[in-house]
Amino acid sequence: MKPFNVLWLQSGGCGGCSMSVLNAESPDFYSSLTQNNINLLWHPSFSEASTDEFLQLLDGIENKQIQLDALCLEGSVMMGPNGSGRFHMLSGTGRPMFRVLESLAKVAHFTIGIGSCAAFGGITMAGSNPGEATGLQYEGKESGGLLGTNWISPDKLPVINIAGCPTHPNWVIETLIQLAMGELNTEHLDSFNRPRSYTDHLVHHGCPRNEFYEYKASAVQPSDQGCMMEHMGCLGTQARADCNTRLWNGEGSCLRGGYACINCTAAEFEEPGHCFTETPKIAGIPVGLPTDMPKAWFIALASLAKAATPKRLKVNAVSDQIKISPGQHETEKKS
């Protein structure tokens, strides 16, 4: 059986997705590839091949002498200045990277955007975007990007956007395995062509602060134990990902580390229009409410929940450690 050949390139980004993939556990990244007959042809940080060897590989792929099953891009596509692509030239070729990507996407069975930069433009596209950064098939929330709205791969799939900043190692490995086994099609992608294996979930699912959320017992500063949705900018009830049920490095997630979810799997997450740690409100009500229930219901239930909040949660929510444990039964006058 022929191996499933993967070429991984990097453009306008920080390399964080590669760092994340290297933290895959049980099994590790390389073991996962080997066990599933996936061959990493080249990666700019992991591979030992010289420049000449890489250019020979590239030539072989473009001339269809070497089969390319999956083209992976990490980082946004750099189109500047003035659409010339000269902000990112592929060393040793005299060609803008975006031209190389266009060429490779024509022969690769599948094209994959690794991380939110490759998928949507991401952090690199923020602000005035002097580098003219874009995603492979999206520019922010708008379809288009480098390859265009109607582009599909030779195997009839759009760009597969494994969005995240960085993306979870298992999202990458799982998607590659599904493709290698011929078990990923358009039904397995959501409306932004992200794998549903992780975007059919909300970050809110499995959040360690869910009891505080249920009673709307809210944190008011970063060190507090309470729910961070009301005041601290948390978007876990809107973010499409399984970060709190498929943990990072065996036990971690942003929320478990005390940080609000910033919805990094979403297009244009990088420019929310306010500080990441603040919750914008109208008449005291958060603008961004949970996606899985009507807003009127949420507001009504939140009022009832706050009225019924146990003192244990009220105290612990605004503390940097548990002050009252569930086993403590104290008779106190209502404040």
Q: Give me the domain span that covers residue 235.
A: 201-321
Is the same domain home to 29 and 112?
yes
Is 329 inside a domain boundary? no
Residue predicted with more confidence, 285 or 92? 92
Quote the pLDDT of residue 333.
45
DSSP H/E element including 113:
strand 110-114
Burial (CB < 10 A; 0-12, 13-18, 19+), residue 267, is buried
Residue 287 scores a pLDDT above 90: no
Is the same domain home to 26 and 114?
yes
Is the same domain home to 145 and 221?
no
Is the same domain home to 160 and 229?
no
Is 71 inside a domain boundary? yes
Is the same domain home to 9 and 63?
yes
Domain end marker among 158, 175, 199: 199
Is the same domain home to 232 and 259?
yes
46-66 confidence digits (pLDDT tens)? 999 999 999 999 999 999 999
Is the same domain home to 223 and 166?
no
**How, if at all, do strands 285-286 and 281-282 pair?**
antiparallel
Residues contacting 216, CB < 8 A, separation 6+: 227, 230, 302, 305, 306, 309
Q: How far apart are CA 134 and CA 125, in angstroms?
A: 6
Residues contacting 232, CB < 8 A, separation 6+: 218, 219, 220, 222, 260, 277, 278, 279
CB 83 within 8 A of CB 129: no
Which residues is 285 bridged to in the sheet? 282
Is 326 inside a domain boundary? no
Quote the pLDDT of residue 297.
62
State the chain's mean pLDDT as an integer.
Answer: 92
Using only C-alpha atoms, what is the Rg of the chain? 23
Number of structural domains, the chain?
2
CATH number at residue 285: 4.10.480.10
Domain end marker among 199, 215, 245: 199
Is 331 inside a domain boundary? no
Residue 216: what are its φ and ψ, rounded to 5°? 55, 40
